[in-house]
Amino acid sequence: MPAPTERTRMPIAVYILGLSVFALGTSEFMLSGILQPLARDLQVSIPQAGLLVSAFAIGMVVGAPVLAAATLRLPRRTTLITLLAIFGLGQVAGAVAPSYGVLFVSRVVSALACAGFWAVGAAVAVSLVPVSARARAMAVMVGGLSIANIAGVPAGALLGQHAGWRAAFWAVAALAVVGLIGVITLVPFTAVPTGDDRPQLRRELAIYKDKQVWLALTATAMNGAAVFALFSYLSPLLTDTAGLAESWVPTVLALFGVGALIGTFIGGRFADAHLFGTLFVGISASTTVLAVLALTAHRPVAAIGLSLMLGVTAFATAPALNARMFNVANAAPTLAGATTTAAFNIGNTLGPWLGGLVIGAGWGYASVAWTGAALAAVAVATTAVAFRLHRATHRSRLVASSAAVAHAPEGTKQH
């Protein structure tokens, strides 16, 4: 255990997990840049091609808890290797898919493996560092996702435009191989606990009786939904509402990714010491940014600048949201990681759906920013309830502890 004045050095294994997440995140989001060539090649409509995105998100929601429970008693390193190998094979299957149906199945399989890797990888990352460095460890993993948005997704779109959409899948498969080699060589082996410490599904499932777990899950889902309600329709908002040329869209998406990386760094820096403060400031800032964007979406400079700011505010909360779940579900680290993964992807599914509803109602693309602001406000309220419950519980434990000491025999009191 490091001295209190020392800053914990992050193990290399955590960075390897972040590198693997870069591959996973690139695969999850790159379809937005290759939908048109993919749809033309497989002779399907754009909405049908878009279902491949939904399939991945739903696979993440279902796969995280199911695979976490199924692999509970397996060595975590072995589980990571297996899931990353399956994910890589899923990318190969997508690259050679002869039909839309085969590609759809490959996306679902890849999503299941991705969800399981996220859940188990998060549990491994926090197990390699002290409690005081959990948010920083999760910031490294979330940073892999941020870099995927900055570099991986635009690179996938570029490959899709110049070398065919299948080249993007081959590139992600290659990244998965690099991550696999890193996990095999640098992530330490951990034996499955035996005896009273062995993982038990019933004991891990008991975390769902805790109100704080559900509050943390709700805040995570609402925060994700707020961001993706806007992000999913950012391109038409920029072109149809702000009046920017389509050539500006990749640049603004990259700026959002840069903001996400900055936010992840900020969140990882402050969340361990000020967890609830980071949550309140970050989510409240996202609410404000989305509301201001809704009011100024017709101004190109405002739309560009606020897209960058949203990346910062949204991702500044990600390390804190992850760390919060591990704190309240400490007795079940594997399912804690799975629950966080599922919650993020519930938001990724809910936000675009609600955004589509308000657009379909004829309220315009700026309405998705209002939708995001409303969802973020729900996340702020949920966090406030969690904070109040946390303070009440913490205070009652202190009182109980003091009472126990006061009534203890004189010779057993601690001074």
Cβ neighbours for 393, distance < 8 A, ≥ 6 positions apart: none
Residue 375, domain member (yes or no): yes
Please state, in angstroms and rounded to a whole number, the distance separating the CA atoms of residues 46 and 146: 26
Residue 2, domain member (yes or no): no
Q: Name the residue range of residue 39's domain.
A: 10-187
Which stretches of 89-246 are assigned E, i.e. beta strand? none
Residue 413, domain member (yes or no): no
162 with 234, same domain: the answer is no
Residue 411, domain member (yes or no): no
- 402 Cα distance to chain centroid: 40
138 with 210, same domain: the answer is no
Q: Is 200 left (phi over 0), alpha (psi -120 to 50) or beta?
A: beta
Residues 372 and 230: beta-carbon distance below 8 Å: yes
210 with 168, same domain: the answer is no
Per-residue pLDDT of the chain (415 residues; tens, 9 = 90+): 344 434 567 788 888 888 888 888 888 777 766 766 787 888 877 556 767 777 787 787 777 777 777 776 677 788 889 999 999 999 999 899 898 889 888 888 888 888 888 878 877 887 777 777 777 787 777 777 767 766 777 777 777 767 888 888 898 899 899 989 988 988 887 666 555 555 566 666 777 777 888 998 899 999 989 988 888 788 788 888 888 887 787 788 788 888 888 888 888 777 777 888 899 999 999 999 999 999 999 999 999 999 999 989 988 888 888 778 777 766 566 677 677 778 887 887 788 888 888 887 888 888 889 999 999 999 999 999 999 988 877 554 433 333 443 444 444 444 3
Q: What is the CA radius of gyration of the chain?
A: 22
pLDDT in tens, 42-85: 887 755 676 777 778 778 777 777 777 777 667 778 888 999 99
Domain boundary, last residue among 187, 220, 237: 187
181 with 205, same domain: the answer is no
Domain boundary, last residue among 163, 187, 211: 187
395 with 259, same domain: the answer is yes
303 with 351, same domain: the answer is yes
383 with 275, same domain: the answer is yes
Residue 345, domain member (yes or no): yes
Of 198, 209, 165, which Cα lies nearest the Cα of 38?
Answer: 165
Residue 89, domain member (yes or no): yes
pLDDT in tens, 108-135: 888 888 888 887 887 788 777 777 777 7
Domain boundary, last residue among 162, 187, 212: 187
pTM: 0.71
Domain count, the chain: 2
CATH number assigned to the domain comprising residue 104: 1.20.1250.20
**Residue 166: phi, psi to the nearest 5?**
-65, -30
Residue 94, domain member (yes or no): yes
136 with 169, same domain: the answer is yes
